[in-house]
Structure 1
Amino acid sequence: MLTEDFITLTAPLRAVGGGRVWSLMISLFGDLAQEEGTAIDGPVLSAMMALLEIRPEAARVALHRLRNDGWIISEKVGRISRHSLSEKGRAESAAATPRIYAPPPDGSEGWQMVLLESVDDPVSADMAAHGFTALSPRMFVGPADIPAPGNGLSLAGGHVPDWLLGQLRDEAMQRTYADLAQSLNDLKNALTKARALSPLQKAVLRGLIVHNWRRIVLKNPPLPLALTERGGPARQSHLLVTELLAAFPRPALRDLAGRPAG
């Protein structure tokens, strides 16, 4: 696909994802070069930034920040700079990978309600990290297969009343999911009519999809399907992310080396 066509095609997804270049770079590295010993050559990264319409100076500032924060390591190999995730960067990416790439729940996972001893229970502040969503200061819901933290009382979930679904519904987050679902659906329809993508374009496309999904899905613990709207924007986004990433498999880094932006 011609460069200008690809830039036009991905413009809505770039707009949804926000403008933090360093965060987008984390998504790109996490998808392409998470394994130890892998790296992205400077010219390849520059070509990816060009496809994303990110100015060279903005890319340099983002790289500088990620190096200072201990996420990225850069080294010279001849005249070419090579950039890789640090040990910290790989560990952080690996921790997020299951949430980002997990397939949508199919409804067989079940759910539970956990009641803590009191609102002052020390575990209360960490319930989200354990995978639970708050209903009240001492009552939480989550997947059935997660052990209840501390001395919490676990009650197996069954029929889900409408009031519970309503209480779990976050209107602002639903709008965010809806915007992403719309952009992904438009992208899917456009790609069915588009010319074949180059390996570099596939890498950028995947990075954009992962970035947009990552910035939403990591904000909240996963809810079992029974506690969500089956036809809602959150599930639609998840289904589209899974479908698009499967349709455009991760290209090998060796196929990106030396490729121009177009």
Structure 2
Amino acid sequence: MSSLTPLNQLITRFQEQTPIRASSLIITLYGDAIEPHGGTVWLGSLIQLLEPVGINERLIRTSIFRLTKEGWLSAEKVGRRSYYSLTGAGRRRFDKAFKRVYSSTVPAWDGSWCLVMLTQLAQDKRKQVREELEWQGFGAISPVLLACPRSDRADVNATLADLDAQEDTIVFETTAQDVMASKALRLQVRESWNIEELATHYSEFIKLFRPLWQALREQDNLLPSDCFLARLLLVHEYRKLLLRDPQLPDELLPGDWEGRAARQLCRNIYRLIFAKAEEWLNSALETADGPLPDVGESFYRRFGGLK
């Protein structure tokens, strides 16, 4: 157990989940900590690293097998040891998912919108397209019309092509408008993106991690193991939040939007503990060639700069 009470409470909270989301936590670990070090580790060191979180060896092996089967990881045997690496497809999925986590600011908005009409799609395909585009930040203006104030047309086209829906979907892009949102538009945003529910989740995140932030700041000599566990659980919970967050422009959000405070809190904690956490990772994880490779310069650009 850690000497930090708030950290112990976070670990207990994770362990009390039913079922324990081991695969999701392993995805967080790879995206946050293993990918910057080359993306490959020995399974045995991975088991030892996650043991303090309360995930037993059997569950880790089962989760790694599942992630391999789903195309996230690939395995390589060296002697009697197994080493797991991100696949090319897995790395692309990580890059896309974690880019949101470490960005320092939300990009500026010019007032333009991307609109996607689903009227010509079959019912089952319409549901599939809607779910995928909502994950990318689109909101439902109506059952057959989706909108996004900030989207990459290439990503939208690629998604529609992957779903075999491009020929039967109508996509419009509006020209830039006044970025000041009207009362009607703000009300529509609340309905289409369920802003109140998301704000509640951000408030819960702040309540969970503010005590940890205070405890970490009061420590004169932080333990590397504590910093690693705190960083893992911090990024894990924040990543899950961002999967629900459409990343709407500030102009469309309430003035007291809790997402801003949550991002600031996450950034502050991460900057405080990342270096000590790296010490623990370097001592605990192994590759087939021995110690982990050093992180690249891009790692230090997280949250607007870590150095």
Question: Is 1:138 matched up with 2:145?
Answer: yes
Residues 174 and 131 of structure 1: CA distance in aligned 2, closer, same or farther (over 3 Å):
closer
Question: Is 1:254 matched up with 2:282?
Answer: yes
Residues 28 and 199 of structure 1: CA distance in aligned 2, closer, same or farther (over 3 Å):
same
Instruction: Provide the secondary structure at the position in 2 that maps to 1:88.
Output: helix
Q: CA RMSD in A?
A: 3.4
Q: How big is the shift at 1:162? A: 4.1
Task: Map Cα deviations across residues 199-238 of structure 1 (whole Å, 9 max, x no partner).
Answer: 4443332221221111121234211111112432222212
In structure 1, the residue matched to 2:2 is: 4
Could you tell which deviates more after superposition, 119-128 or 205-214? 119-128
Instruction: Provide the secondary structure at the position in 2 that maps to 1:5.
Output: coil
Question: Is 1:168 matched up with 2:169?
Answer: no
Distance 2:39 2:181 in 1: 46
Distance 1:49 1:16 in 2: 12
Match of 1:243 among 260, 265, 268: 268
In structure 2, the residue matched to 1:112 is: 112
Instruction: Provide the secondary structure at the position in 1 that maps to 2:141.
Output: strand
Q: How big is the shift at 1:197? A: 3.7
Residues 207 and 16 of structure 1: CA distance in aligned 2, closer, same or farther (over 3 Å):
same
Q: How big is the shift at 1:29? A: 0.7
Paired residues for 1:199-214 under 5 Å: 199-214=224-239
Q: Which runs of 5+ in 1 are unaligned?
A: none
Task: Map Cα deviations across residues 112-138 of structure 1 (whole Å, 9 max, x no partner).
Answer: 34456x662669846546644343443
Residues 115 and 63 of structure 1: CA distance in aligned 2, closer, same or farther (over 3 Å):
closer
Q: How big is the shift at 1:65? A: 1.4
Task: Map Cα deviations across residues 123-161 of structure 1 (whole Å, 9 max, x no partner).
Answer: 984654664434344362413x85597333335143223
Q: How big is the shift at 1:100? A: 1.8
Distance 1:36 1:255 in 2: 13
Instruction: Provide the secondary structure at the position in 1 that maps to 2:75.
Output: strand
Match of 2:209 among 184, 203, 207: 184
Could you tell which deviates more after superposition, 208-217 or 33-42? 33-42
Residues 83 and 203 of structure 1: CA distance in aligned 2, closer, same or farther (over 3 Å):
farther
In structure 2, the residue matched to 1:152 is: 173
Instruction: Provide the secondary structure at the position in 1 that maps to 2:60.
Output: helix
Give 1 or 2: higher helix fraction.
Answer: 2
Q: How big is the shift at 1:247? A: 2.0
CA contact (8 A) 1:16 1:180 kept: no
Question: Is 1:229 matched up with 2:227?
Answer: no
Instruction: Provide the secondary structure at the position in 2 that maps to 1:249.
Output: helix
Distance 1:48 1:254 in 2: 11
TM-score (normalised: structure 2): 0.68
Task: Map Cα deviations across residues 136-194 of structure 1 (whole Å, 9 max, x no partner).
Answer: 44362413x85597333335143223443344232322221111121121211121123
Distance 2:141 2:245 in 1: 13
CA contact (8 A) 1:133 1:140 kept: yes
Letter in 2 for 1:135: I
Distance 1:245 1:9 in 2: 14
Task: Map Cα deviations across residues 30-56 of structure 1 (whole Å, 9 max, x no partner).
Answer: 111225843233343223222212222
In structure 2, the residue matched to 1:40 is: 41
Instruction: Provide the secondary structure at the position in 2 that maps to 1:176.
Output: helix
Instruction: Provide the secondary structure at the position in 2 that maps to 1:60.
Output: helix
Letter in 1 for 2:266: V
Task: Map Cα deviations across residues 52-110 of structure 1 (whole Å, 9 max, x no partner).
Answer: 1222222222122112222223334455443322222212111212112112338x444
CA contact (8 A) 1:104 1:239 kept: no
Distance 2:282 2:242 in 1: 30
Residues 38 and 98 of structure 1: CA distance in aligned 2, closer, same or farther (over 3 Å):
closer
CA contact (8 A) 1:105 1:224 kept: yes
CA contact (8 A) 1:13 1:184 kept: no
Q: How big is the shift at 1:21? A: 0.5
Distance 1:234 1:76 in 2: 43
Letter in 2 for 1:99: R
